[in-house]
A and B are shown apart, each in its own frame.
Chain A
Amino acid sequence: MSKNRPTILLADDDPTITDNLPPFLERAGFHVLAVSNGRDALEKAKIHQPELIILDVLMPLMDGREVLRRLRSQNIWIPTILLTQIGTSTERAIALEEGADDYLNKPFDPHELLARIHAVSRRTQSGKPLLSTAWHLTSGDLALDRRARRASLADNPLDMSPKAFAVLEYLMTHPGEVVSRERLLQSVWGWDYPAGGRTVDTRVFEIRRLLDDDPSAPTFIETLQGEGYRFVAPVRATV
């Protein structure tokens, strides 16, 4: 921390990013350390112990995923946001598998990055792995096996479409947060379009039907008119 301002380590090899993001983040109250390759990112993360790391995936010397793997293997759980180049579902799955707390597709609105930084910071319980890095999640009778991509309710397996599973997974790893339809489209589908909100609603409807969750008195997913959805039940990581 520098002068009581939380430190963010920003690692990206593109000067367009490292020239423009630090002033924006500094204005938002952070102290920013910028590096241009993965090896420096790993070194600075260990020396400075920043409050948060923003890692680009494609970088020289060591890519962002490798940096993350090494940090996690050394039991360093500094919250990390991955900046992915390609919005593919595979890329997003890998990002979470390797211990990223959130990911953002380029190009992004800097305000969206700031919102993610605040959200990740809120979710952080210092020193402990976050829900986003846990393989098993439970909320009451609901259990999610993220590796096997299986959901069950009171030990009964649920026949859920892969997209509905991914939506539920995203909401459960961000409990208590209002997640907009646009954000779900960007994060789960990797794309959006003007009428795409309905696509999200259909999947939430599928989840609710399977969980027998009444939208007027929700146990799991609450609808916030004009804003999005929120997972209201407490979620914990299990082994």
Chain B
Amino acid sequence: MKKSFHFVSIGLLTIGVLSLILMPQLWVPEPILVLRIGAGASIFIFLLLIAFLLQIFLAGKALGQKEFQAQLDKANRHHEKEHLQFIRRLDHEIKNPLTGLHTAFTNFIEAHEGGERNQAKDNFYKALGRLTRLLRDLRKIYDLDSQVIERRPIEISQLVKETVEATQALPTYVRREIKVLMSTVPWPLPVVTGDRDLLGLALYNLLENALKFSDNNEPVEIRLREDGHSVFIEIADKGTGIPPDEQSSIFEDLYRASNAQHVIGSGLGLSLVRRIVNLHNGDISLRSINNHMHGSVFTICLPTKNQRKAG
């Protein structure tokens, strides 16, 4: 668009220059209307014109400033709203395990027999674990927002393979089926530049979600492909799916979908994934249904060359 304007300007300028040179030779201009005004009047008209243009300029500027201020106010209000929402969600995420901690401790003190005390002790550690997980994930987010990430070549296929192996080695997922489908013809997947450990963490978070939210006998698929500019990593499951009206909020800090409240997690996993992908100049998207056919497909798109600014 910008380029075509440039060409039109050059064309017009060329025509103008040619007219200036050629026209006097072809056609001698004759006055059509002669207006005679005094020097004072011409100064008056000239200054009037200047004043008029100045007023238009100032009015435009004031309008621009007003619009800018309105946009700034809107952004501030949005930021304030997000901030309050974060605090409300954090309050919710802290008060539950804290109440659990309090109750478990009371049970431990007041219980008479060993079995009841042991149960209270287990519950105490569970609540403690939940609070620790929340803090750990909050710290990861802080760390991501404040540090410069490593940028080195990464073979995504190798990273995916390692993440799958490490996940399947965990006792919880040892029997779970994780299929990896990778495009290798006519060429292997290109290398991506970035932080291997962070991308590994992002993959693990998505993979863990896929496993957590689907039945033990349902497989999870990871599909890898490329389009010449980017590498696409799809993580697909036949899990509970995410309600359509909640899909736009799913990557927000501490957001938990209405059908995921019972599943253990900090509510920060997907927001971490989004941050990590953005730090790699990539995108993440979601397709999900939760009716009779249910499941989700998360797609990470990573550029194979760093086209935008590096962190």
Query: Does B140 have its Cβ within 8 Å of any Cβ on chain A?
Result: yes
Quick one: CB contact mask for B145-162 with A, threshold 8 Å, 1 for yes?
Answer: 011001010000000001
Within the complex, what minimum Cβ distance (angstroms) separates A228 from chain B? Answer: 16
Q: Which of A88, A191, A202 contacts B146 (CB 8 A)?
A: A88
Binds A, one of B197-205, B218-226, B230-238: B197-205
On chain A, the residues within 8 Å of B208 by CB distance are 194
- State whether A162 touches B146 (Cβ < 8 A): no
Known contacts: A87-B143, A191-B143, A202-B196. The answer to whether A161 contacts B162 by CB under 8 A is no
- State whether A87 touches B163 (Cβ < 8 A): no
Within the complex, what minimum Cβ distance (angstroms) separates B132 from chain A? Answer: 6
Within the complex, what minimum Cβ distance (angstroms) separates B109 from chain A? Answer: 16
On chain A, the residues within 8 Å of B146 by CB distance are 88, 90
- State whether B166 touches A161 (Cβ < 8 A): no
Query: Does B12 have its Cβ within 8 Å of any Cβ on chain A?
Result: no
On chain A, the residues within 8 Å of B170 by CB distance are 194-195
- State whether A107 touches B135 (Cβ < 8 A): yes
Query: Does B83 have its Cβ within 8 Å of any Cβ on chain A?
Result: no
- State whether B204 touches A202 (Cβ < 8 A): no
Which applies to chain A's interface (DSSP): helix, strand, loop or mixed? loop
Quick one: CB contact mask for A186-219 with B, threshold 8 Å, 1 for yes?
Answer: 0001111111111100100000000000000000
List the A residue with the shortest CB-CB distance to B137: A191
The CA of A162 and the CA of B208, in the complex, are separated in Å by 28
The CA of A195 and the CA of B201, in the complex, are separated in Å by 8
The CA of A90 and the CA of B197, in the complex, are separated in Å by 17
On chain B, the residues within 8 Å of A162 by CB distance are 150
- State whether A198 touches B139 (Cβ < 8 A): no
On chain A, the residues within 8 Å of B204 by CB distance are 193-196
Query: Does B136 have its Cβ within 8 Å of any Cβ on chain A?
Result: yes
Query: Does B142 have its Cβ within 8 Å of any Cβ on chain A?
Result: yes
Number of interface residues of B (CB under 8 A): 25
Query: Does B167 have its Cβ within 8 Å of any Cβ on chain A?
Result: yes
Known contacts: A195-B204, A202-B196. The answer to whether A190 contacts B162 by CB under 8 A is no
Q: Which of A161, A191, A197 contacts B139 (CB 8 A)?
A: A191
On chain A, the residues within 8 Å of B201 by CB distance are 191, 193, 196, 199
Number of interface residues of A (CB under 8 A): 22
On chain B, the residues within 8 Å of A90 by CB distance are 146-147
The CA of A107 and the CA of B132, in the complex, are separated in Å by 7
List the B residue with the shortest CB-CB distance to A162: B150
Within the complex, what minimum Cβ distance (angstroms) separates A106 from chain B? Answer: 9
List the B residue with the shortest CB-CB distance to A186: B136
Q: Considering the complex, which residues of chain B in the window 96-149 have a beta carbon less than 8 Å from any beta carbon of chain A?
A: 132, 135-136, 139-140, 142-143, 146-147
The CA of A163 and the CA of B199, in the complex, are separated in Å by 14
Query: Does A86 have its Cβ within 8 Å of any Cβ on chain B?
Result: yes
Within the complex, what minimum Cβ distance (angstroms) separates A182 from chain B? Answer: 12
- State whether A199 touches B197 (Cβ < 8 A): yes
On chain A, the residues within 8 Å of B82 by CB distance are none
Query: Does B246 have its Cβ within 8 Å of any Cβ on chain A?
Result: no
On chain B, the residues within 8 Å of A87 by CB distance are 139, 143
Known contacts: A189-B197, A198-B162, A202-B162. The answer to whether A88 contacts B143 by CB under 8 A is yes
Q: Which of B135, B142, B163, B205 contacts A88 (CB 8 A)?
A: B142
Query: Does A73 have its Cβ within 8 Å of any Cβ on chain B?
Result: no
- State whether B166 touches A190 (Cβ < 8 A): no
Query: Does A125 have its Cβ within 8 Å of any Cβ on chain B?
Result: no
Query: Does B165 have its Cβ within 8 Å of any Cβ on chain A?
Result: yes
On B, residues with C-beta under 8 Å from A are 132, 135-136, 139-140, 142-143, 146-147, 150, 152, 162-163, 165-167, 169-170, 196-197, 200-201, 204-205, 208
Closest 10 CB pairs of A and B: A195-B166, A198-B166, A191-B140, A199-B197, A87-B139, A195-B204, A195-B167, A88-B143, A198-B162, A194-B170
17 more CB-based (< 8 A) A-B contacts, given A88-B143, A88-B147, A190-B140 = A87-B139, A89-B143, A89-B147, A161-B150, A163-B150, A191-B201, A193-B201, A194-B204, A195-B167, A195-B170, A196-B166, A197-B166, A198-B165, A198-B166, A199-B197, A202-B162, A202-B196
